[in-house]
Structure formats: C-alpha cells, structure tokens
Structure 1
Amino acid sequence: MGTIRILRVYEEPEPGEYRVLVDRLWPRGVKKDKIDLWLKDVAPSTEVRNAFGHVPEHFETFVRDYTAELNKNPAVTDLREILAGHEQVVLLYGAKDHEQNQAAVLLSFLNASS
C-alpha cells in the first residue's frame, strides 16, 4: 500500500495522486474530471450520516457507528484493492470540517486495520 491522505474535494491534490471521492452524495459544483473514482458505497449510511449532522458533539458516536459499518462493508475490500494499485491515493470529502468527517474516520480505520 502506498501513501494515503485525505483532502477536501474543493482543494487541489498533488500531481499523480489517484483521487477517490468517499462521500455518498456528489459535492456541489465539482466537475467529474476532478475525481478518478466515486466510491460512494464506502461512505457512511444515510442514517449514520444524518445522525451525525456534522455536529461536533455527535462525532464520537459517528466514529463508533461508521466504524461498525466499515467492519462489515464489502466496499472496504474494493478500496483496499484500489490502494494496492496506486502509489498515492487521496480520499476526497465534501465536509467543511477537516478533522471531523467520514474521510478522517475511514483513513484511521484503514491505518488501524492494515
């Protein structure tokens, strides 16, 4: 596995990074050529996402619930295969918060389980 990092979808990735959108919803105003792959199946379920609502006080519960989903989500296997096939991968997200978002949880999950 090469290097993985997260980045807000509206920011510019480094040259050569494979760009994977990990949101369930397509971000407003983003053109398709800015994304190499939209892996929406790895995103949190609508129920978990809505319960979080990007409220900081709900983040701990969001991490717990989303991690539980990731543990049984077959899309994680797909993501691992993508990661194995690319030297540099950037997981893109649309949320405004750079620390409390699903890509941060997903990156932590991937690092902990590899």
Structure 2
Amino acid sequence: MPVNLKRVYDEADQHDGVRVLVDRVWPRGMSKEKAQLDHWLKEIGPSNDLRKWFGHDPDKYEEFKQQYKEELEEGDQQEELQKLKNLTKEHDKNLTLLFSAKDKEHNQARVLKEILDRQ
C-alpha cells in the first residue's frame, strides 16, 4: 500500500489513516480543528531558502527535488524524516502526507512519498 498525498485544504476522510502535515509553514486560513492532523512535522519541510528559490516553479522541480533530498540527509530534517519513516512503518503505510501547495505534482510531499514508498 503506497503512502497517500492530499492537500490539507481537502476534506478529511476515514481512508486517510494517520494525517501528517509536512509543511514548514502553517497553511494560510486553516484552523487546527479543520486540518484534523495527527502530526505536524514542520522541521521536515524544505529550508526557507530552498522553498523561496523553488517558488513552486515546475521547471525547477528536478533541481528542487535533488537539493531537498540533500537537506533531508542532515540536521533537523534528518531527524524528522526518521520520525516520518517510523510512523509509516508503525501504521503499515496507512498514512496521508498533507501539504498546502496548489501544485499537486511539484511539492515536497511528493518527494517524501517517493522516499517512503521505497522503504
């Protein structure tokens, strides 16, 4: 079973399993109650510099993905990635990664999903 992806603004449902927000910045206009999160791993998000450089430009996605994976191998992000991997194993991949980006194909949650689906 692959890990699911969903915009945090989409309605929560029973098939989401464990809901994990993977954005560094809280989603604009979203209340904690409406988000229905189980976990917020904000330190796993891309660094502010990388996030601003990327700006959700699809043409920069491959470079973003490479730089983000490098970030995930060090510091706070590495620790948070291990927490996410542990959650994924603990719940047998019955997990939904939540993100706020409008672009569903070019974002950090998709990079994390690739990593988790391979474990």
TM-score, with structure 2 as normaliser: 0.85
1:93 to 75, 93, 99: 99
1:77 aligns with 2:89: no
Q: 1:24: which partner in 2?
A: 24
Q: 2:47: which partner in 1?
A: 45
**CA RMSD, Structure 1 to Structure 2 (Å):** 1.5
2:20/2:97 contact within 8 Å kept: yes
1:22/1:39 contact within 8 Å kept: yes
1:7/1:13 contact within 8 Å kept: no
- Aligned with 2:4: secondary structure? strand
User: Structure 2: which 5+ residue stretches go unaligned?
Assistant: none
Q: Aligned letter for 1:25?
A: V
Size of the aligned set, in residue pairs, is 112
C-alpha distance in 1 between matches for 2:8 and 2:40: 12
Q: Aligned letter for 2:11?
A: E
Q: Aligned letter for 1:55?
A: D
Q: Aligned letter for 2:79?
A: P
